[in-house]
Amino acid sequence: MKMQPVKGTRDFYPPQMAVRNFIVDGWKASSIRNGFVEYDGPIFEYLQMYQVKSGDEIVEQLFNFTDRGNRHLAIRPEITPTLARMINKQINALPMPIKWFSVPRLCRAERPQKGRLREFFQWNIDIIGIEDVLADAEVICCSLDYLRNTGLTSKDVVAKISSRRLLAALLKNIGIAEEKLESLYPILDKKTKIPVEAFVEMLEKEIDSPETIQAILKLMDIHSVNDIPDIVKLDEKAQESLDELKRVFAYLEKMGAEDWCRFDMSIVRGLAYYTGMVFEIHDKSGDLRAICGGGRYDNLLSDFGGPKVTATGMGMGDAVLEILLREKGLLTDDSLDIQKLDYFVACVDGDLFDEAVEITTKIRQKGYAANFSYKTNALKKQMKIADSMNAAKCIIVGGELKESGQLVIKDMATGEQILVDATTFLE
């Protein structure tokens, strides 16, 4: 019976695994540079955990199942709920602030397409317990820090930043009721993704007043924080939110990221739980979906039964990132080593085969990466294998060992070879 891989999944053969490691290692290095520590949780949780903050629609996008104890479970589609659960559980013991990162493997039952799979990896960083927007700026900077380290520049990507709090205050100012906001966010989120007519049409379903719709259109067209007071009257709350957003940008400037960042009213994020700063990083050509997204979610921990603790964070998936890095030539198939050896042991004399195995074992016991050929075929052949395995050095076990107890050690990069005493070398 021919078995097929499941839709939307990937097989990581060694070359693809090298790519995955390249990405994940970069994420981890950036996290550590920026002072985050790693955590992880289970790959499945109670289904209910994902229903708390999202509706039943989300459940259709989940891989869920029932275990033998009739527990309704789901494979994690994101790790933030797990994070909230874990932090709530130990909230009194954990030193604040918490700066944690994770690279969870996630699954969502969506239809696969470019940059979107059903199983993927997502880098998450979160800062919990810092109310100041300094934490928001730091999250953005850490994301950019990683991207900069891959070789991307501010010409390639841009962090688009806005504020849910500001948006809410402004919408209220133009006469939108508090309870309307939640249903409006997903529509506003589409502003730049669909034609204006379609956007207006969607708004008309929610809002009766044509003047209000016009006001929204004007609002969504704002491109600079400084233009806001000219377009909308600011009440105290809006002014506060605006000042806060300006402080985010001030911090970003101090962190040297101003070239990479800009205010963008159209960044809303579909998700309901964001309460403050929201951001997405996009490729500048705009052909790809968002590279990463995140923001402040001050109510999530309390929504999960904990105390009210402030939090901000972001997630970056591996699929879009890989496409972008390849497009920019920053990741090519032959730029990554699949294997690296300190030594390859080549045996050219059938009588010495057991010796060669012993020698390899001793080298391994000394802590080096070593491999040998399973056959004593032509040296030429074995050199080729050594080369394909990326061996730094090749040890030749042959006549010299028989005659004078010596080994030939060839440096594969320079081609130079030396004779060493086998016993001393292996001590």
Partner RNA sequence: GUGGAUGUAGCUCAGUUGGUUAGAGCACUAGAUUGUGGAUCUAGGGGUCGGGGGUUCGAUUCCCCUCAUCCACCCCA
Binding site for RNA (CB under 7 A): 4, 6-8, 50, 54, 57-58, 61-62, 77-78, 80, 108, 110-116, 186, 189-190, 193-194, 269-271, 289, 293, 315, 348-349, 377-381, 383-384, 386-388, 396, 398-400, 408, 410, 412-415, 417
Alpha helices in 91-208 (DSSP H): 133-149, 164-173, 181-188, 196-206
Q: Quick one: CA dihedral 79, 84, 88, 93, positive or negative?
A: positive
* Distance of closest approach, residue 68 Cβ to RNA, in angstroms: 25
DSSP string, 269-333: -S-TT--SEEEEEEETT--S--SEEEEE-TTHHHHTTS----EEEEEEEHHHHHHHHHHTTS--G
Indicate the residue among 17 and 96 with the shorter CB distance to RNA.
17
* Distance of closest approach, residue 238 Cβ to RNA, in angstroms: 24
Indicate the residue among 116 and 247 with the shorter CB distance to RNA.
116
Please tell me the distance from the alpha carbon of residue 394 to that of residue 397, in angstroms, as a whole number. 10
**CA count, 13 A, side-chain hemisphere, 80:** 28
Please tell me the distance from the alpha carbon of residue 50 to that of residue 81, in angstroms, as a whole number. 7
* Distance of closest approach, residue 380 Cβ to RNA, in angstroms: 4
* Distance of closest approach, residue 411 Cβ to RNA, in angstroms: 7
Residue 367: both structure tokens together? 């802590």
Indicate the residue among 309 and 352 with the shorter CB distance to RNA.
352
Q: Quick one: CA dihedral 146, 148, 154, 156, positive or negative?
A: negative
* Distance of closest approach, residue 80 Cβ to RNA, in angstroms: 6
* Distance of closest approach, residue 231 Cβ to RNA, in angstroms: 26
Longest dimension (CA), the chain: 98
Residue 58: both structure tokens together? 């989300």
| H or E stretch covering 89 | helix 80-89
Q: Terminus-to-terminus CA distance in the chain, angstroms?
A: 52
Please tell me the distance from the alpha carbon of residue 143 to that of residue 125, in angstroms, as a whole number. 9
Indicate the residue among 232 and 321 with the shorter CB distance to RNA.
321
Indicate the residue among 68 and 111 with the shorter CB distance to RNA.
111
* Distance of closest approach, residue 227 Cβ to RNA, in angstroms: 26
CB neighbours of 377 closer than 8 A, spacing ≥ 6?
none
Q: How many Cβ atoms are within 10 Å of 119's Cβ, its own excluded? A: 17
Indicate the residue among 80 and 275 with the shorter CB distance to RNA.
80
* Distance of closest approach, residue 138 Cβ to RNA, in angstroms: 19
Indicate the residue among 238 and 371 with the shorter CB distance to RNA.
371
Indicate the residue among 236 and 416 with the shorter CB distance to RNA.
416
* Distance of closest approach, residue 403 Cβ to RNA, in angstroms: 8
Please tell me the distance from the alpha carbon of residue 355 to that of residue 407, in angstroms, as a whole number. 11
Indicate the residue among 199 and 249 with the shorter CB distance to RNA.
199
With vertex at residue 376, the alpha carbon angle to CA 370 and CA 381, rounded to the nearest 5 degrees, is: 80
CB neighbours of 92 closer than 8 A, spacing ≥ 6?
none
